[in-house]
């Protein structure tokens, strides 16, 4: 009750909040499922009313489609940017309505707090939050990440209250206090976006998962990326004999719930945050959101806390598992683009590859099926002589640790260019190995000492 007078003073409608936006402003939306809904709808209605050159930055945009994209297809008022691409961002980019902001995910917190980057700080920050508690705090729910730093350093900070947002306990930076914000929107309490269950894994993914499972010891600290394969790994862990596992991951994924329910997660062997799983955001099913809501066994943290490679490396036996899109015979990894088309983002993949390598007993595992089919049904190898022109290098060849396909697993650390080419060709689909050997010879990375792959 001590904060109710201040609450009433700061209460504002979404329409009035949208009127605070001026031309040439930078607006930051809350990340992933904390993206504002009512404010965005109100701001979208201002397209064409004299607003010009307003940059809106999201992180992993989810439904509903941002109105600032839908309402202004000619981009006379709004330009939309995303720090990490989802399917929605990808489709918007395909038609010229969004652009990507590349970065390593752990840097987001640093950019949000460091005054050396104050030119990047937003003029207006808006995020969905839980209702205010008795202490005057609004919880960021499913999107901690770098929300607090942006809230504190924006010229105008606005929270959009949604009663459906899970209360995600901390951790670090999981809240903003009423004294630290300028305005409060009481939102329409729209449902929080939840993902459908993961599709059934392919036979290739099951083989890949079998190889990875052999690399996970008791007491390992697990990080899983986004996608069907990480969720399959989590399900297999839940059905295994593994014990005393820990979790530190940028994303809390559905598979972790299964691991908890099976008694596999204790976090007893972690170097810090003993007995707690730490994560920076969650994008999953409603079942996962219900699991996180008010759960003291999990801790919401800012993304520098979860992803800083030096902090990750403090744990023993870090097993970091992430997907990639393609790799070349030089062992350069692309996980975020298909040629020039932006598919996702660097996210925390490089953070955890580095952190896992420097962990005692750790393994940074990059997994991928050896082939894919294009729209016409033609099969292509994900292992190529050179990356597709325009492809972004997500993990430099010097940083690559373990690679896994349905044909095996290989540790590339300290291998020569000849050794890398041979290891990669052994991981490729047999139908493509002869042409890859020919390419390796042309590239001067195949010698008479290389053996013919199986």
Per-residue pLDDT tens digits for 281-291: 999 999 999 99
Q: Which domains does the chain have, with CATH numbers?
A: 4-186 (3.40.1080.10), 203-442 (3.40.1080.20)
pTM: 0.95
What pLDDT digit, counting tens, does each position of 415-442 carry? 999 999 999 999 999 999 999 999 999 9
Q: How far apart, in whole angstroms, are the C-alpha atoms of residue 334 and residue 326?
A: 5
Q: What is the mean pLDDT of residues 60-89?
A: 96
Note whether 199 and 228 are within 8 A (CB). yes
Question: Counting runs of H as helices and runs of E as strands, what totals does the chain give?
Answer: 16, 24
The whole-chain average pLDDT of the chain stands at 96
Q: How far apart, in whole angstroms, are the C-alpha atoms of residue 370 and residue 381?
A: 6
Note whether 234 and 255 are within 8 A (CB). yes
Options 250, 326, 406, 422, the catalytic residue: 250
Burial of 202 (0-12, 13-18, 19+ CB in 10 A): middle
Q: What percent of the chain has pLDDT over 90?
A: 94
Q: How far apart, in whole angstroms, are the C-alpha atoms of residue 130 and residue 152?
A: 17
CA 330 from chain centre, in angstroms, equals 26
Q: Give the up-direction half-sphere exposure of residue 390: CA atoms within 13 A in the CB hemisphere.
A: 7
Instruction: Categorize the per-residue pLDDT at 9 as very low, low, confident or very high, splitting at 50, 70 and 90.
Output: very high
H or E element that contains 89: helix 87-94
Predicted confidence (pLDDT) at residue 454 exceeds the cutoff of 70: no
Q: 205 an active-site residue?
A: no
For residue 353, give Cα distances in angstroms to 278, 346, 393: 18, 12, 14
Q: Which two tokens stand for residue 43?
A: 């701001």
Residue tagged 């004299």 (tokens) = 50
């Amino acid at each position: 009750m001590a904060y109710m007078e201040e609450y009433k003073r700061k209460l504002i409608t979404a329409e009035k909040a949208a009127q605070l936006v001026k031309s040439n402003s930078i607006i930051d939306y809350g990340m992933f499922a904390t993206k504002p809904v009512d404010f965005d709808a109100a701001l979208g209605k201002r397209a064409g009313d004299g607003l010009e050159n307003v940059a809106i930055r999201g992180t992993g945009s989810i439904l509903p489609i941002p109105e600032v994209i839908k309402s202004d297809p000619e981009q006379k008022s709004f330009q939309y940017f995303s720090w990490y691409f989802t399917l929605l961002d990808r489709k918007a980019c395909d038609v010229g309505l969004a652009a990507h902001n590349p970065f390593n995910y752990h840097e987001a917190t640093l950019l949000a707090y460091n005054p050396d980057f104050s030119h990047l700080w937003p003029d207006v920050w808006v995020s969905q939050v839980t209702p205010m508690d008795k202490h005057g705090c609004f919880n960021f729910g499913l999107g901690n990440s770098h929300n607090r730093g942006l809230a504190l350093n924006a010229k105008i900070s606005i929270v959009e209250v949604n009663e459906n947002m899970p209360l995600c306990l901390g951790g670090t930076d999981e809240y903003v206090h009423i004294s630290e914000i300028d305005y409060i929107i009481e939102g329409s309490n729209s449902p929080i976006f939840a993902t459908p269950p993961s599709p059934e894994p392919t036979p290739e993914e099951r083989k890949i998962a079998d190889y990875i499972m052999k690399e996970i010891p008791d007491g390992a600290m697990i990080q899983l990326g986004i996608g069907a394969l990480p969720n399959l790994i989590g399900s297999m862990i839940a059905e295994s004999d593994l014990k005393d596992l820990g979790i530190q991951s940028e994303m809390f994924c559905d598979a972790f719930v299964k691991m908890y329910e099976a008694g596999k997660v204790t976090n007893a062997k972690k170097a810090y945050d003993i007995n707690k799983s730490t994560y920076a955001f969650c994008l999953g099913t409603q079942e996962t959101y219900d699991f996180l809501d008010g759960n003291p066994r999990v801790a919401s943290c800012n993304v520098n806390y979860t992803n800083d490679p030096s902090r990750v490396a403090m744990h023993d036996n870090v097993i970091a598992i992430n997907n990639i899109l393609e790799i070349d015979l030089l062992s350069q990894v692309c996980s975020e683009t298909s040629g020039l088309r932006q598919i996702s983002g660097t996210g925390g993949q490089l953070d955890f590859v580095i952190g896992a390598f420097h962990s005692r007993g750790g393994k940074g595992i990059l997994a991928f099926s050896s082939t894919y089919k294009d729209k016409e049904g033609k099969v292509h190898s994900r292992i190529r002589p050179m990356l597709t022109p325009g492809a972004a290098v997500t993990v430099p060849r010097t940083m690559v640790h373990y690679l896994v396909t349905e044909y095996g697993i290989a540790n590339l650390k300290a291998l020569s260019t000849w050794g890398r080419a041979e290891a990669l060709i052994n991981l490729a689909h047999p139908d493509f190995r002869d042409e890859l050997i020919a390419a390796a010879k042309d590239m001067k990375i195949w010698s008479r000492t290389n053996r013919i792959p199986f």
